[in-house]
Structure 1
Amino acid sequence: MSGEGKEPQAIRKLQPGRLVIASHNPGKVREIAALLDGRGLDVVSAAALDLPEPEETGTTFVMNAELKARAAADLSGLPALADDSGLCVDALGGDPGIFSARWAGEDKDFARAMDLIEAKVAESDPNPARTAHFVCALALAWPDGHVEWFEGRVDGTLVTPRRGTKGHGYDPMFQPDGHAQTFGEMDDDAKNGVSHRADAFRQMVAAVF
């Protein structure tokens, strides 16, 4: 596994072939597939294989990513890559954090989730800090139980009104530091150059390819 503060040292390289992306989120699958393009992998989603979504019972991003990757690798008999990511808002003590998807409800209504964040931030302080960060944990699991994990982060600010219809999840309300556009306004190439997921992928690519 990768270690915080150290260059990731993979015990095992990922060989060309079929790889399961352990997600039922089409936007996330598309983003991960783009980041893996050109690596000699035949990417297939957990949804396409009709794999069930495991309950995310972990208390950290890494634990939930590993849980999902292990489940997909066990059921498919293939290496599996899982992502667990979320938005951490400073004014809310880091919420929604690992519960980012759950704030959107079973119907994945992220517009409602963003409304909820705005309401809670407004309640927290008359002039709240609007700083926030995204975290992405990647777990790469093999059917024999071996797992590698990597964690990325990007800092930014919450904006209102929300801007952009690209991306997915909380992207329209998050403007990364040093950029004039929100993730919701960026095209895939621009976002993949600066995002928390791209940060985690850079670490993974250095380690396992």
Structure 2
Amino acid sequence: MGLVYFVSAYERKLEDMAHAWQGGPTPLRPLRLDVPEVLSSDLDTVVRQKAIAAYRLALVPLFVEHGGLFIEHLNGFPGPLVNPFWERLQDRICSLIPPGLSRAAHVVQKVCYCDGRTLRVYTGSVLGEIACERQGDGGTHWEPMFIPAGHTRTLGQMPREERLRCSASAEVVRAFRSDIGL
């Protein structure tokens, strides 16, 4: 496989993916595009449609990433709708869970590869909980509110290297790279 592009509208995601991609035989090519996202509660649908839309814009082999934050107390909401949810509520997400109730949550990250002929989806996930309040400034959007299982700090409090090791993104990128031989 030749060059592979990663498409995202978020600079921090482009930087994180470039960091996670290091050490391979070919460099990752970041491509900053604002790709429309379908609003769906089905994460596979969202990531597939996002990859198709990105391919139609760029016409190069690429992959996109989309995640979902599934909060137990909210019956799995917001799931893949985490971006619009975040835009409206931001740090108030923490206060949606009353004291004494389960703060359990899990993150699912999906990567979808598209080259115009092939569409492949890869999945990574991590268990954790929602912090009582925002902690840290690292990561993107909701990461300063998510504490991975087995840790005491939010993803937002962790240095990039640690955050990427603890995130669902690391797992999904490993699966994707293994499958395509990079």
- TM-score exceeds 0.5: yes
The code of the aligned residue for 1:134 comes to V
Query: In the alignment, which of 60, 68, 73 is matched to residue 91 of structure 1?
Result: 73
Query: In the alignment, which of 139, 148, 151 is matched to residue 123 of structure 2?
Result: 151
Identity %: 23
The equivalent residue for 1:184 is 156
* Number of residue pairs matched by the alignment: 180
Q: CA deviation at 1:42?
A: 4.3
Q: Distance in 2 between matches of 1:100 and 1:152?
A: 16
Structure 2's unaligned 5+ residue stretches are none
Higher strand share: 2
Query: In the alignment, which of 58, 61, 78 is matched to residue 43 of structure 2?
Result: 61
Q: CA deviation at 1:136?
A: 0.2
**Runs of 4+ that moved beyond 6 A:** none
The equivalent residue for 2:54 is 72
Larger radius of gyration: 1
Higher relative contact order structure (alpha carbons within 8 Å, sequence separation ≥ 6): 1
Q: Where do residues 18-57 of structure 1 align in structure 2 (5 Å cutoff)?
A: 19-39=4-24, 40-47=26-33, 52-57=34-39
The equivalent residue for 1:131 is 104
The code of the aligned residue for 1:104 comes to W
The equivalent residue for 1:114 is 91
Q: Contact 2:94 / 2:133 at 8 angstroms: preserved in 1?
A: no
CA RMSD of aligned residues (A): 1.8
The equivalent residue for 2:115 is 142
Structure 1's unaligned 5+ residue stretches are 1-14
1:82-124: CA deviations, max 9, x gaps? 111021100000011111001133xxx7xx3230x234322xx
In the superposition, the TM-score normalised over structure 1's length comes to: 0.79
Q: Contact 1:22 / 1:68 at 8 angstroms: preserved in 2?
A: no
Q: Distance in 1 between matches of 2:28 and 2:66?
A: 21
